[in-house]
Structure 1
Amino acid sequence: MRYVIDVRDGRLGQVMGHEGGYVQLRPVDGGREWDCPPDAVGEAPLGEVLRARVRRINEDGRLP
């Protein structure tokens, strides 16, 4: 998995693919994908990726 930052607004996203000249990103914690121009994609700091993934795992593990 590859994670990047959309430098236009600072959102962290997982690269899902490429479509029509755009990079398709999905939030680490789930949700709707969005399109990002390739020149607006930046490297995601490892600490940000780890925090987002741990947050997602913790949310998935909560009892109803």
Structure 2
Amino acid sequence: MSVEEPVRGEVFYDEARGTVGEFQDRDAGCYFLRPVGGGREWTARPGALRPATQAESLSARVAAANHAAGRGR
């Protein structure tokens, strides 16, 4: 991951979990991400993160919108 400090809401791919999440905060060397569209946060090591591609980000946003519309069941 880059040396720059992430911005809240920036979308990353967590290679350790194999999923996309939005950056929320950091503490003691760990970053806190949450699913795009909301949900329970998880901790991630900065070295396991990379910026999400446009396709990964769009896919996560569409999945969140479908879930919110009741189609994600």
TM range (shorter): 0.7 to 0.9
> Counterpart of 2:33 in structure 1: which amino acid?
L
Counterpart of 1:24? 32
Pairing partner for 1:14 from 22, 25, 28: 22
Counterpart of 2:10? 2
Q: Which portions of structure 1, spanning 4 or more consecutive aligned residues, are displaced by more than 2 angstroms? A: none
Distance 2:67 2:42 in 1: 22
Question: Is there any run of 5+ residues in structure 1 with no aligned partner, and where?
Answer: none
Secondary structure at the counterpart of residue 8 of structure 1: coil
Task: Write 1 or 2 for the structure with the bigger share of helix.
Answer: 1
* Aligned-residue CA RMSD (Å): 1.8
Give TM-score scaled by structure 1 length: 0.80
Task: Write 1 or 2 for the structure with the bigger share of strand.
Answer: 1
The alpha-carbon deviation at position 58 of structure 1 amounts to 2.6
Give TM-score scaled by structure 2 length: 0.72
User: Among the aligned pairs, what percent are the same residue?
Assistant: 35
